Structure formats: C-alpha cells, structure tokens
Chain A
Amino acid sequence: MDHTLQNTHVKLLAFDLLSLTPTPDPATFSRSGKLLSRAEIVGTITSRDHKPSKFIKFTVDDGTGCVPCVLWLNHLTSLYLPRRDPSTVRLIAGVATDFAAKIKIGLVARVRGRIASYRGDVQIMASDVVIERDPNMEVLHWLDCLRLARKRYDVVVNKS
C-alpha cells in the first residue's frame, strides 16, 4: 500500500469519499491502492444538528453526494481526549465553537478533517471549516479534485 498520501488532506468529491474502502486500521481508508486518513471537501451545507458543548453534525452536498460531518465541541468536558495543556485545550475549544457558529444551512463550506467511519458510513471529523463566499470556489474544487485524481491519486507508482 502507498502511504504517501496518508498525512495530507486529499481533495475528494463526495461520491469518491463515500466509496473509500475501510482497512483494519480504523484511522485509515484505501483508494486505488493508496492509504488515506484526511480529506478536504467543499459543498453546500444541507443539514445541521447542533448540541452546544457537545458536537455539531452537518451534511455537505457537493452535487455528487452528501458527506456527513461532525465537529466536536466537548473539548473542555470530555474525559477521553488526550491530556494537553489546559490553555491549548481552551484555544482548540474556542476555535471549534467559532467554526460551529459559522455552519448554516445554504452556505458553502470547505471542510478539512479526519476520515472516519460511524455505523458503517464514512464521515469527516472536521478540524477546519471555512465558509466560501465566492460562488466559483465550489467549481474550482471540482476541478482540483479531477486534476489531483488524474495526476496524483490515481497514478500507480511502480516500485522497481
């Protein structure tokens, strides 16, 4: 398996992301012989379920599929997060809260995060959410996905 894309946010269309193959490692997925763990998608927010201080779940529709996303908001209260400096945790929590406030149905968002599986379905655990105001950004993301697939993601590297 090719690991060279494992630590970058690969730009994928929704139908491509939702077709990724799980691997024995729950943190990685495979696509065309390459291991992926992070992705970037762009699309219209079509649903939103906000539980303050817990999470916000939302879906991103890019015209090829709907990607479920979750942004965790429980940094200050969760017992399961790795131990970190409290000031860092507060900073991360603040950033996540700001992102959550921007997520509104009808807006176009660029979402980056870890690829995860929940109840058998692929989803994104969001780490960055940027609202795209320029209506051409969604189209440019399509073209980025096509170009990167052709030039990088679908290229088979022969190891001699």
Chain B
Amino acid sequence: MASSAIKSGALVNLTELHPSSQFYEEGASLRVTGKIGTKENAVIFNEKNKIYYRLQDYAVEAAMAIIADGNAILKIDTQHLRDLSFRVGSIYQFIGELHIQADCEAILQARVGRNVDGLDLNLYRQSLQLLRQFQADRMNNTVT
C-alpha cells in the first residue's frame, strides 16, 4: 500500500462515533457527514456533561460548527477552512482529524469541508456498507 503524507479520511457515520468505536481515536483521520443545526433546534443537549448549547452563539464565538445525523452530533473545528460559509439546515461533509479533549468530548479539526445538499443520505449509508464489505473481502482475498 502506498504511503502518503496526507491521510485518507475514513468514512464514518456520526452514529458510529462513540467511545467504544474503532474510529474513536485521538488523531484518527475521518470523513463525516451531517446537517448543521437548525434555528429551531438551536439548543443542543450534551448527554455526557448536561450542558446546553445555543448553536448560533457557539458557532460564532469559537469557529465551531455542530453537525447532526439523527440523534448523533459532532463538533467541527472550522478555523482552518477557507471559502466555506455555513447555512443552518444544510448538509456538510468534513475531512479532518479527531481530537478527544480531557472531558472525553470529541471534536473534528476539519481540513476540508463542502456543502453536500442534495446527497441521498439513504443511498450514501447503504453504499458505505457495501463499500466496507467489498474492502474487507478484497483484504481477505489478498491475505489468503
């Protein structure tokens, strides 16, 4: 396998990103997809620390975005992104490295981001499963 200074962002659903997941690792390069919180859903409940966030205030103060996929949420550090504006309610995809803070909260430090409004999320999720199976089968065939 070729090596590259730029690491590939492993495709992961937000619902798969929890402390016991193989993807939940300091420095892991990931690609995540989710919807920027809506104004109606501006209060985010962090289950671990029981902290309420107002999405708009948080996003403005800390160059952070919060994306959601179902009940799963993830904070995105967007300070290194250029030429990308965020629309509440739109779907975005980010590639970056996961940082796990002292309070066990995970933040993705994004190096690439794009608006993916129009993405068929059902097709995306189903295709991701097929992709993973294909990759596993190829790896197994290579080993045997």
A residues near B (Cβ < 8 Å) are 13-16, 18-19, 44, 46-47, 59, 61-66, 68, 105-108, 120-123, 134-136, 139, 142-143, 145-146, 149
Q: Give which listed residue, B10, B83, B119, B130, contacts A63 with CB less than 8 A.
A: B10
Contacting residues, chain B, for A149 (C-beta < 8 A): 134
Q: Is B118 an interface residue (CB 8 A)?
A: yes
Q: How far is the CA of A102 from the CA of B27 in the complex (A)?
A: 30
Q: Is B89 an interface residue (CB 8 A)?
A: no
CB of A35 to closest CB in B, whole Å: 18
CB of A22 to closest CB in B, whole Å: 12
Q: Which residue of A lies closest to B114 (CB)?
A: A106
Contacting residues, chain B, for A65 (C-beta < 8 A): 1-2, 8
Q: Is the CB of B120 within 8 A of A136?
A: yes
Q: How far is the CA of A46 from the CA of B4 in the complex (A)?
A: 11
Q: Is B85 an interface residue (CB 8 A)?
A: no
Q: Is the CB of A18 within 8 A of B2?
A: yes
Q: Is the CB of A143 within 8 A of B130?
A: yes
Contact with A along B74-90 (1 / 0, CB 8 A): 00000001011000000
CB of B78 to closest CB in A, whole Å: 12
Q: Is the CB of B2 within 8 A of A68?
A: yes
CB of A49 to closest CB in B, whole Å: 11
Q: Is B124 an interface residue (CB 8 A)?
A: yes
Q: Is B48 an interface residue (CB 8 A)?
A: no
